[in-house]
Structure formats: C-alpha cells, structure tokens
Structure 1
Amino acid sequence: MQTILVAMTILGCNDAVTQCNYIATVEKQWQTIALCDAASERQLKNYTNVSYPTVMAVCEPPKPVSTPEAPKAVTENTAPTVPAETRRRLSALTERVAGQVRAHLPSGSDMKTVLASPVHFVSGSYSWVAKRLHY
C-alpha cells in the first residue's frame, strides 16, 4: 500500500473570503488529513505578517500531476510550461477552496464575528481552517 502524504497550502483572502491568493506551501507533510488539520493553527501563526485580512490553511493530498507530452520538436526561445501549469492549478485550488469556505460561513457583517476565532472544517478528503488577522 502506497502512503499518501497530506500537504498544507496557505492562502491569503479578503474580508469576505471571496478572493484568495496563494501564499505558500508548508514544507512539512502529514500522514492524514486530521494530523494536518491539528497542526494548521500553529502553522498559521507563521503567516501573521501577510497583507491579507484573513489567512487559511488547506490540507489535502496532492492531486495527480498529468505527465506532459514529450516535445515534438526543439525550438528556440521556448518558455517552460510548468510554471503556467502550476499557476493554473493554484488558481483552481484557491477558487475551489474559497467556494467551499463560503458555503460553510455566513456572509456580510456576520463574517467578522465568526472568524474572530479560527474556524475549522474537516472532511475525509480535505480540511481547512480560516482565521481573521486584521479587524
């Protein structure tokens, strides 16, 4: 049986968690979603100086990476495609997670009250914790 390690991604979001951006991927990995979630609040303390009012830690197993096709011909000035693919996946991750968070949290002025303390959500396939930094 192959062990799948869980990664933690840190996102910075606006007040309403409608727009989030990738900040970092934590170097450490965990054996389960629950262990990653248990460490998420401690990890968020390392990101209190970011310029976002809300930060989130998202724990999930890595998605399978599609193998790129072999190049058909070598051409000059070919830009690498890996960074663009990485940006696309991070953008998809931030949009998906922000949608999941909004589905579980109230909107508007109630959001400030709810995020006064870190809010956790844990499922079998992922978890997230959201915390307001600036009031």
Structure 2
Amino acid sequence: MKEALIIMAILGCADDNSQCQTVQRVTVPFETVADCRAAQPAVLEKLTMLDYPVIVADCQRSPVNQLADARPIG
C-alpha cells in the first residue's frame, strides 16, 4: 500500500463555484485534513494574483509520488 499525505489543491472556479479546475497545489504536505483546513485562510489570502472569480482550497489525500507536481504558493 502506498503512503498518502494530505495536500491542498487550489481551485479556480466560475462565479457560481462551478467549472472548477486545479490551478496550484501547496508544496508542503499536511499530516491531517484538520491541519490542512486550518492553513486554508492564510493560503487563500495570498492568492490575489489568480484570475478567477472564485478561488477555493480543497484538502485531498494524495500518494507521495504526486507531490512532485506541487508548486509553491506566494
């Protein structure tokens, strides 16, 4: 079984929160979903440069081998 960690995916969405697409992932993995959710406000505060009407953060379990695709925030 592969080890999994929690990552935060940043999604850009239309005005009604539909048609969302992943635009970034936070590079630092979290040990728990609660840790990830606690970090969401600070991360979202830094994302003013993204050109989407709505920006949301989603905490997801991810296999360790997918962390290489993550990009830094800020």
Equivalent position of 2:54 in the other structure: 54
Equivalent position of 2:6 in the other structure: 6
Equivalent position of 2:35 in the other structure: 35
The runs of at least 4 consecutive aligned structure 1 residues that moved more than 2 Å come to none
Contact 1:14–1:53 under 8 Å retained in 2? yes
Identity of aligned residues (%): 33
Distance 1:50 1:20, change over 3 A: same
CA distance in 2, matches of 1:44, 1:64: 23
Unpaired segments ≥5 residues, structure 2:
66-74
How far residue 60 of structure 1 moved from its aligned partner, in angstroms, is 1.4
Unpaired segments ≥5 residues, structure 1:
66-135
Flag the structure with larger Rg.
1
Taking CA–CA contacts closer than 8 Å with sequence separation of 6 or more, which of the two structures ends up with the larger relative contact order?
Answer: 2
- Cα offsets for 1:82-101 (capped at 9, x unmatched): xxxxxxxxxxxxxxxxxxxx
CA distance in 2, matches of 1:8, 1:64: 13
More strand by percentage: 2
More helix by percentage: 1
Aligned length: 65
Which secondary structure does the structure 1 equivalent of 2:5 belong to?
coil
Equivalent position of 1:15 in the other structure: 15
Contact 2:6–2:36 under 8 Å retained in 1? yes
How far residue 63 of structure 1 moved from its aligned partner, in angstroms, is 5.4
- Cα offsets for 1:77-118 (capped at 9, x unmatched): xxxxxxxxxxxxxxxxxxxxxxxxxxxxxxxxxxxxxxxxxx
Matches within 5 A, 1:56-135: 56-62=56-62
Equivalent position of 2:72 in the other structure: none
